Amino acid sequence: MHPLTHVAIKISMEENTLDVREENEEDSNSESYSSESDVETEVTNRQLQDAFADGLLQPGLNFIDKPVKECANDVGSMKDILQEFTQNIDWIERLDVTCGPVHPPGMTEEEKNEEFDVEDYFKRELRFYRQAQAAALETLPKLNKMDVQTRRPEDYFAEMAKSDVQMKKIREKLLKRQMSLDKSEKAKKLREMRKFGKKVQQEVLHARQKEKTEMTRRVKNISKGKMQETGEELKKQQEKGKRRNQDPKGKNPNNPLTKKVNKKREYKNSKFGFGGKTRRMKFNDKDSHGAEEDGFDARRNQQSFSKQRMKKGGFKKGKGGGFKKGQGTAAGGIKKPGMKKGRPGKNKRKTMKSRRK
C-alpha cells in the first residue's frame, strides 16, 4: 500500500472499537478533513497503539471521520404506500407525462448524456424549456385525437391568470427595452457614418427637408393671413436662422438650438429632480396606483361629515386593551340605514362589484 494513502478512522466510544475506512487521495475533498484539526472525540495514544498492533492502522496520515448519519429510506413501505394512494384513473384525468428534454437535431450522443451544470443559468433554463417542449409535443397530438380542445378560439374571452394591467406593464417594459436597443444601435451607426463623412450628406438632406417644411409653414401662415408676404422678410428669416445656428461651442445659453446640454445632469434631474419635466411625475395618479385592480369607488364610499367625525373619535376594533363589542363608537359599528351589519367584507365587496359589472 502506498505510504501516503489516507485512512479515516471512525472511533465509537461506546464499543471501544475502531472502524477503519480507507480513502484515496482523490476524495480528500470531503468535509471530514477540512475542519477537524480540533479533535472532538478524545483518542488516547493507547488506543492508537492497540489499533496499530492489530493491523487496523496503516502508516501514513490518518483522520478521524465524522459519524455517518443514518438516514431513513424505507423502500418497502414506500412502495406499499405508493400502491395505496395511487389513483387508478384515466390518463385524461391526470394529464401527466414523463419525458426527457427534446434534443435539437444537431446534438451528438455525448452532448445528450452530458450532465448539465446547475449554476449555468442559460443551460439550465434551456433544459427545462426543452423538457416542457417534449411534454407538449407528446401530449397535444394525443389530446387532439381524443377531441379535447387545446386551442383557444379567438372569440373566447375569459379571465386570465395575469390581469390586463399586468400584461400592459409587461408589454411596456418590453417596448422600452426594444426602444433603448434601437436607439443605441442608431447611435452606433451614426458614429460609424461620421467616420466616413456620410453625415454631411445626411445633413444636407436633412437641411433640405427642414427648408421644405419651413416653406410650407410660411406659405400656410401667409395664406392664413398671419404673416405678410414680403420677399425681404423671408430673406431675413433665413439669415436669422443662419446666425442662430453659428455657435459651435454653445456659449450662448439663451439660444436653445446651440445650448450645450449636459446629458448626465439632465438624466439626474429626470431621475431625482422634482421640477421641470418631473414636476408631476413623482406623485401617484390614476394609472400608477392600480385603481383599476382595486376598484375603489370614491362616490360609493363617501360618508356624511358627522359620521366621519364619529369614526375618527371611535376606538379601534378588537385591539387596545379588551374593550367589549358594545362599548363606544366602534369603527365597525357605523350603520347605514337599511344594512344589517357594518361595511361588508372584502370578498363580498368583490362579488358585489363584479355582479354590478
Partner 1 sequence: MGKRKAIEQIVKRQKRLRNTERVESKTEKSGDKEKWTNKQRVLIFASRGVSFLARHLASDLRTLMPHARADSKLDKAKGFFEINEICEMRNCNKCIFFEARKRDMYLWTSNTPHGPSAKFLIENIHTLAELKMTGNCLRGSRPILSFDPEFDNLPHYQILKELFTQMFGTPKLHPRSQPFIDHVFTFSIADDRIWFRNYQIIEEDGSLTEIGPRFVLNPIKIFRGSFGGPMLYENPKYVSPNQYRAQLKKNAGLRFKNKVESQMGHQVRKMKDTYNIDPLDEIFTTIKPEDAKGQEKLTYYRRKRSHPKDTGEKIAAAL
- Residues that bind partner 1 in the complex, under the rule CB under 8 A: 35, 69, 71-75, 77-79, 81-82, 84-87, 89, 92-100, 102, 116, 118, 124, 127-129, 131-137, 139-140, 143, 147-153, 156, 158-162, 166-167, 169-170, 173-174, 351, 354-355
Shortest Cβ 260–partner 1 spacing (Å): 36
Name which of 120 and 211 has its Cβ closer to partner 1.
120
276: left (phi over 0), alpha (psi -120 to 50) or beta: left
The grid cell for 265 is: 445632469
Strands 17-23 and 6-12: antiparallel
Name which of 127 and 343 has its Cβ closer to partner 1.
127
Shortest Cβ 114–partner 1 spacing (Å): 13
* CB count in 10 Å sphere of residue 120: 11
Shortest Cβ 149–partner 1 spacing (Å): 5
Shortest Cβ 292–partner 1 spacing (Å): 15
Shortest Cβ 290–partner 1 spacing (Å): 11
Name which of 159 and 232 has its Cβ closer to partner 1.
159
Cα separations in angstroms, 162 against 193, 346, 355: 45, 20, 21
Name which of 87 and 254 has its Cβ closer to partner 1.
87
Shortest Cβ 173–partner 1 spacing (Å): 5
Q: Can you say whether the dihedral through the CA atoms of 227, 232, 237, 238 is positive or negative?
A: positive
Shortest Cβ 167–partner 1 spacing (Å): 6
Cα separations in angstroms, 31 against 37, 150, 344: 12, 52, 60
Pick the closest to residue 241 from 271, 211, 264 (CA basis): 211
Strands 6-12 and 62-64: parallel
Name which of 94 and 195 has its Cβ closer to partner 1.
94
Cα separations in angstroms, 30 against 1, 63, 66, 119, 334: 21, 11, 11, 21, 68
* CB count in 10 Å sphere of residue 65: 20
| Alpha-carbon gap, residue 66 to 75, rounded angstroms | 26
